[in-house]
Chain A
Amino acid sequence: MANLEQLLEQHFGYSTFRPGQKEVIEAIIEKRDVVALLPTGMGKSLCYQLPGYVFNRPVLIISPLLSLMQDQVEQLKRFGEKRVIALNSFLQMSEKRNVLQHLGQYRFIFTSPEMLKNSQVQAAFRQAQFALVVVDEAHCISQWGFDFRPDYLKITDWMDAVNRPPILALSATATEAVVKDIKAYLHMSQPFEYIHSVDRVNLHYDVVQLEKPIEKAPWILAHVLKTHGPGIVYTQSRKKTAIYTERLLSNGIRAAAYHAGMEAEDRQFIQQQFLAGQLEWICATNAFGMGVHKDNVRQIIHDHIPSTVANYMQEVGRAGRDGQDALSILLYVQKDEDMTKFIITEDIPQERHVEQYLEYTGREENPAVMLDMHQISETGFRVLSYWMQRLAPQEVQQKLVDIRLSKVSQVDEMKTMVTAQKCIREQLLHYFGQSLNEKPNQCCHYCGIEYGVILKEREHLETLGYMPSWGERLSVLLPNI
Chain B
Amino acid sequence: MYFQHLLLQIFHKFGGERSVSAGFHLLKGKRSGQTIQDVGNFNLHAFFGLTPKLSKEKYLDQAEQLVGKGYATYKDEQFFILTNAGREKANGSKMMQFNGWYYRGNEHIFFKRLSLVIQSLSYSVQEVKSFAPIQKNEDIQLWVKHYLVKNNYKSNAFIQTIRDEISDSLKGLPVEESSLNLLLYRLTGFNTPGWTWEQLAREQESTLLDVQLAFLEVLHAWLDALYKGPKYYLSQLAEGIRIEQLLTESAQKTANLFHQGYTLEQISAIRRLKGSTIEDHLVEMAMSLQEFPLEQFVAQQDVEAIVYAVQQMNSKKLKVLRDSMPELSYFQIRLILAAKGVM
Using a CB–CB cutoff of 8 Å, the interface residues on chain A facing chain B are 70, 74, 77-78, 90, 249, 256-257, 262-266, 268-270, 272-273, 276, 278, 464-465, 467, 469-471, 473-481
Contact = CB atoms under 8 A, between A and B. Distances in A.
A91 to B, nearest CB: 8
Contacts of B132: 74, 268
B199 A478 contact: no
B191 A276 contact: yes
Secondary structure call for the A interface: helix
Highest count of chain A CB atoms <10 Å: which of B183, B196, B199:
B196
Interface in B78-136: 115, 118, 121-122, 125, 130-134, 136
Interface stretch (B4-12, B159-167, B300-308): B159-167
Nearest to A480: B160
Contacts of A90: 138
Interface in B265-312: none
A378 to B, nearest CB: 21
A474 B188 CA distance: 10
Highest count of chain A CB atoms <10 Å: which of B131, B132, B180, B192: B132
Nearest to A279: B193
B193 A266 contact: no
Q: Which of A262, A263, A278, A467 has the most CB of B within 10 A?
A: A467
Contacts of A473: 181, 184-185, 187, 192
A110 to B, nearest CB: 14
A477 B122 contact: yes
A474 B167 contact: yes
A473 to B, nearest CB: 4
Interface of B: 115, 118, 121-122, 125, 130-134, 136, 138, 156, 159-160, 162-163, 166-167, 170, 177, 180-181, 183-199, 202-203
A479 B167 CA distance: 13
Q: Which has the most chain A C-beta neighbours within 10 Å: B115, B121, B199? A: B199
Given A477-B189, A478-B125, A272 B194 contact: yes
A152 to B, nearest CB: 24
Contacts of A469: 177, 181
Given A77-B130, A269-B193, A467 B181 contact: yes
9 residue pairs, one from A and one from B, having the closest CB atoms: A272-B193, A78-B130, A470-B184, A266-B196, A477-B189, A470-B180, A473-B184, A269-B194, A273-B193
A471 B164 CA distance: 11
Nearest to B195: A269
Contacts of B136: 70, 264
16 contacts: A78-B130, A78-B131, A264-B136, A265-B115, A268-B132, A268-B134, A269-B188, A269-B194, A464-B203, A467-B203, A470-B177, A473-B187, A476-B192, A477-B118, A477-B184, A478-B163
Contacts of B167: 471, 474
A278 B187 CA distance: 16
Contacts of A266: 196-198
Contact of B198 (A257, A470, A481): A257
